A = this chain, B = another copy of it.
């Protein structure tokens, strides 16, 4: 059979160069094209298809700088007809990242610090229609199906976001037109679900799990 053609999507030139060097060094893998962001990835994908050189797998980072993030890009790609498998290759393995990627239709979730051979295996596996998950990603998904009751409600996430901006309970209450008592009730629920016992720990936990965006971080 022919080579597995890969479309690289990563905003860091250094990482793209590294993946290009690493993957082309493997037997049976070649780089079809590269893209620095989601829009460029979709454009490249369309271009390659018209050339009859559709990639066998898309290797996608989740953090793509300004613009479309990797989850959105993945969802867009999976909406196409006969979409290629998308293998996520990123730096972080937070709950929200993993779940968002899987929900967007990713075929796998690998970390950038994985050894080269695991990376090669994952690419080949995804290209063949299989699945490749980093240990933590696999553990998370299994834990989710056995223990589904611990996720935050939309309202709780909303209050969490306000909490992270540094507002007091009273200020939050005024912001969303409820009483301070209700805010406290929600916070108690949030603390319980996150396994913490104060607001700063809740912010840290929620940020770590990417339930909320870091205060002041660029979109």
Q: Is A41 part of the binding interface, using a Cβ–Cβ cutoff of 8 Å?
A: no
Q: Is A134 part of the binding interface, using a Cβ–Cβ cutoff of 8 Å?
A: no
Task: Count chain A residues whose beta carbon lies closer than 8 angstroms to a beta carbon of B.
Answer: 45
Q: Is A199 part of the binding interface, using a Cβ–Cβ cutoff of 8 Å?
A: yes
Name the residue on B nearest A20 (C-beta).
B21
Name the residue on B nearest A94 (C-beta).
B216
Contacting pair B198 A215 (CB below 8 A): no
Binds B, one of A43-51, A98-106, A164-172: A164-172
Q: Is A56 part of the binding interface, using a Cβ–Cβ cutoff of 8 Å?
A: no
**Docked pose: A14 CA to B203 CA in angstroms:** 32
Which B residues lie within 8 Å of A204 (CB)? 164-166, 215-216
Contacting pair B218 A92 (CB below 8 A): yes
Which B residues lie within 8 Å of A203 (CB)? 164, 166, 200, 203, 215
A81 vs chain B, min Cβ distance (A): 31
Q: Is A112 part of the binding interface, using a Cβ–Cβ cutoff of 8 Å?
A: yes
* CB within 8 Å for A113 and B13 given contacts A200-B199, A214-B207, A216-B208: yes
A65 vs chain B, min Cβ distance (A): 7
Task: With A12-B18, A208-B215, A208-B216 given, name 12 new contacts (CB 8 A).
Answer: A14-B15, A14-B22, A15-B18, A15-B112, A91-B91, A164-B204, A166-B196, A166-B201, A167-B201, A207-B215, A209-B216, A214-B217
Can you list 14 A-B contacts with CB-CB less than 8 angstroms, sorted by A residue number?
A13-B18, A14-B112, A17-B116, A18-B19, A92-B218, A164-B203, A165-B200, A165-B204, A166-B200, A166-B201, A200-B203, A204-B216, A207-B215, A207-B217
